[in-house]
Structure formats: C-alpha cells, structure tokens
Amino acid sequence: MYRSGAVIILVFILFSLSGCSLLENTPLDKIINNNFIDNISKKIKTIFNSYPQTPEELAKAFAKALKSNDIKKVHKYLPVTDSTGNPMASNYLNFGGGKDFNVSELQGDSKRVYFLLENTNEKNDKYIILVTKFNDRFVVASMGPYDSQILELE
C-alpha cells in the first residue's frame, strides 16, 4: 500500500518535471480556467454574509425588517446594534412596522443616500430613510415621515 502511493506521487512528479500537464483537456482544467472556484467562493460568501453590500440592498432589507415587525431585524441595520439602550428600532417600528413598502432612491452622493419608503396599501403613508456608511458598513442613520420639501432645504 505504501509503495503504490509512493509510485503514484513519483509518477506525478516526473510528469510535472517533464512539462507534461495532467490538467490539459480535462474537466479540472476547465474548472480552473473558468474561475469556477472563485465564483463558488463568492456565492458561499454572499450566502453566509447576508449583510447588504450596497445602499440599495440595505434599504430593501430594512423595508423587509420593518414588514416583519421584528425589533432584532430592525436593530441589525442601525448604527448601534445594542438593543437595550437604543430606542431607535422601536420608534421605527412604530412608524412602519408590519407595512409593505416600495423602496425608491431619492437623492444621494458618495457619503449618503436618501430612500423613499412608500406603503403599497396606502399611498399617503410615506417615509424617508437616510442610508450612510458607519464602521465600514451601510446603516440606516435616520427615518421619518416623508415631506417633499425636506431634500430641497438641504
């Protein structure tokens, strides 16, 4: 058993030293050349790292968290995730908890983006959220009732 393993390793080393590739025209060669491994690792990272990577993704995830009416999910997207000393999440749930929202971008720059959350069932029920970066992740910095003049004043 030991000799057969040593023989296989020796043959592999001899092939690699002679310039003959064992990977040419094999499925393994196609896997390596098509970035299969990189693509799979990216998919695995996105599955296990479910935190939004863009302001748009965060706004949509925050709207889903509001719809679920779960304070822990809402806390996840706030700058301070400590649920004991931060009343922001409960205030935001009082605004839009349990409601289904359409999310659209209003205005933004490289540091912050404003999004409009429109209640799908009630057209006059609108909220504005500010998404910004805090500690290298996007967070909802504030939320309030939508007024079309708010952005004009800034």
- Which domains, ranges and CATH numbers included, belong to the chain? 2-48 (no CATH), 55-153 (3.10.450.50)
Q: pLDDT (tens digit, 9 = 90+) per residue, 79-128? A: 876 666 668 888 888 888 888 999 998 887 878 899 999 998 888 889 99
Q: pLDDT (tens digit, 9 = 90+) per residue, 61-71? A: 999 999 999 88
Q: pLDDT (tens digit, 9 = 90+) per residue, 5-50? A: 666 776 666 566 555 555 555 566 666 666 777 777 777 776 666 7
105: helix, strand or coil: strand
Amino acid of residue 150:
I
Q: How many angstroms from the chain centroid is the CA of residue 3? A: 51
**Cα separation, 150 vs 152, whole angstroms:** 6
Phi, psi (degrees; rounded to nearest 5) at 147: -135, 125
pTM of the complete model beyond 0.75: no
